[in-house]
Amino acid sequence: MQQTIANATLPDAVKRPSFDRSQLKPKWVHLGFGAFHRAHQGLFMSDLANQQHTDWGLCEISLIGGEEQIKKLRAQEHCYTVVEKGAHETQVRISGSVCESLHPALDGIETILNKLANPEVAIVSMTITEKGYCADASGHLDQQNPSIAHDLATPEQPKSAIGYIVQALKMRKDAGVKPFTVLSCDNIQGNGEVVAQVVLDYAKVLDGELATWIEKNVTFPCTMVDRIVPAMTTDSYQQVTELLGGVTDPCSIVCEPFRQWVVEDRFVAGRPEWEKVGAQLVEDVVPFEEMKLRMLNGSHSFLAYLGYLGGYETIAQSVANDDYRQAAKALMLKEQVPTLSVQGVDLNAYADSLLERFANPNLHHRTWQIAMDGSQKLPQRMLKSVQFHLAKGQDFSCLALAIAGWMRYVSGVDEKDQPIEVADPMAAELRAICDKAGLNVAVVSRLLGVEAIFPKELAANKTFISAIELAYQSVLELGAKGAVAQLVKSL
């Protein structure tokens, strides 16, 4: 028998599940078995089972890609390794909360739909990234999206997460079974509201009665999730193998020790007691969500675009540059904090804790990874804050430089004339705009004309245009490092 983490003798320092995994029932289905989910929701559930010996188990489903990983997960009896690397200490844990896994290529679409329609399933959650919601710039369902167009034409053979969810809810309605809760765990502002809107839009196209039933009976809680989980590399897999005493785990992940989960407490069919293991169950998630999206994610994006252009491979390297660190802190405290409504949180201390987390030398969180999908992220991380400051006639020079850094980054060529692999659903369109305009300030107005990213009223605002042009020109003339240094001097 091949040795896996499920059957091997592991070093004593490795913390293994203390509960009877055979008692787990797949009452919680998750769409998107990615690294973040493994480090976050999956581990919360494993910790709860260790503490309470609950029967709440996870069924993992990957809809797009991930077929080989599901095979590997099954080969090790659905266990996987979580390595929490702090600046001074490393902890190795085996998560045992997953008890089942499915993939359309391995098990068929019907099997997945039947699982979602099973009365024992109480929660269907997801980490499918912003583009997985298939929403347009207005927040409504993008019916022109190829996967959505396919699903609306053949709803019983869905491809998208939205298509699967609506079809499964239809099956439950038709069978007289009460619905499940739909729980988004993606970094999207108002994520519960976003998924509710696209689900209802989709259902209305198919069946008005179904849409009404969903609106009356299904809940879509908002959540805020936080944990830094870098993409795995050959080196990080090797480190995991060494920590496991020579046993390999292709499903392992490495992350920081910090984690946070704020959940709106609205569940139609029950939920695990996540609050017993550190989750915050609240009435309103939005203030926490805005705090995290603007302070953490906004400064992360600033460090990613300008850090990559400045020659830094990781976020830790970026904040090791004192100019970058000061600029990121100023962005948080001077330009993001005034836009927030969260109460009972020391935001100065929160900013300091974020910079400390970013500086963790043992987390190789690549600037390139954070820079992914910028067209989907800019609106919630930066543009709403810019609109706040424009309305009040206030300075937003840190945000302007971050946006200018993104514009320079999506040109696809770095400051040494080397190609940038821009990972973004709009990469080709953005590159074409940059190629046509060239590396000069004329590109600013053309990129601001992309309505899927920039609202018309913002793109037409002369103060905004001028600020971005000035910041972009400074990046061109001084380079990213020089532009950040100049910004810090002006603060």
DSSP 261-286: EEEE---SS----GGGGT-EEES--H
Beta bridge partners of 30: 60, 125
Residue 101 near residue 5 (C-beta atoms within 8 A): no
- Residue count of the chain, please give it: 491
Residue 160: predicted pLDDT: 97
Distance between start and end Cα atoms, the chain: 63
Residue for token digits 């260790």?
50
Beta bridge partners of 100: 59
Q: SS3 of 420, please?
A: coil
Q: SS3 of 123, please?
A: strand
280-282 and 260-264 as β-strands: parallel, antiparallel, unpaired? parallel
What distance in Å separates the CA atoms of residue 311 and residue 309, rounded to the nearest whole number?
Answer: 5
- pTM as predicted: 0.87
* Torsion sign, CA atoms 125, 128, 132, 135: positive
Residue for token digits 């053979």?
157
Q: SS3 of 369, please?
A: helix
What distance in Å separates the CA atoms of residue 168 and residue 238, rounded to the nearest whole number?
Answer: 40
Residue 1: predicted pLDDT: 59
Where in the chain is CATH 3.40.50.720?
21-282
Tokens (6 digits) for 151: 């699903």
Q: Which CATH fold topology does 286-490 show?
A: N-(1-d-carboxylethyl)-l-norvaline Dehydrogenase; domain 2 (1.10.1040)
Superfamily of domain 21-282: NAD(P)-binding Rossmann-like Domain (3.40.50.720)
What distance in Å separates the CA atoms of residue 243 and residue 1, rounded to the nearest whole number?
Answer: 21
Residue for token digits 């045992």?
96
* Torsion sign, CA atoms 193, 453, 135, 428: negative
Residue 289's Cβ-side half-sphere holds a number of Cα atoms within 13 Å equal to 22
Where in the chain is CATH 1.10.1040.10?
286-490
Residue 188: predicted pLDDT: 87
What is the full per-residue pLDDT of the chain (491 aa) written as tens digits? 578 999 999 999 999 999 999 999 999 999 999 999 999 999 999 999 999 989 999 999 999 999 999 999 999 999 999 999 998 899 999 999 999 999 999 999 999 999 999 999 999 999 999 899 999 878 899 999 999 999 999 999 999 999 999 999 999 999 999 999 999 999 888 999 999 999 999 999 999 999 999 999 999 999 999 999 999 999 999 999 999 999 999 999 999 999 999 999 999 999 999 999 999 999 999 899 999 999 999 999 999 999 999 999 999 999 999 999 999 999 999 999 999 999 889 999 999 999 999 999 998 899 999 999 999 999 989 999 999 999 999 999 999 999 999 999 999 999 999 999 999 999 999 999 999 999 999 999 999 999 999 999 999 999 999 999 999 999 999 999 999 999 999 99
What distance in Å separates the CA atoms of residue 172 and residue 160, rounded to the nearest whole number?
Answer: 19
253-255 and 260-264 as β-strands: parallel, antiparallel, unpaired? unpaired
In which element (H, E) is residue 450 found? none
Residue 135 near residue 191 (C-beta atoms within 8 A): no
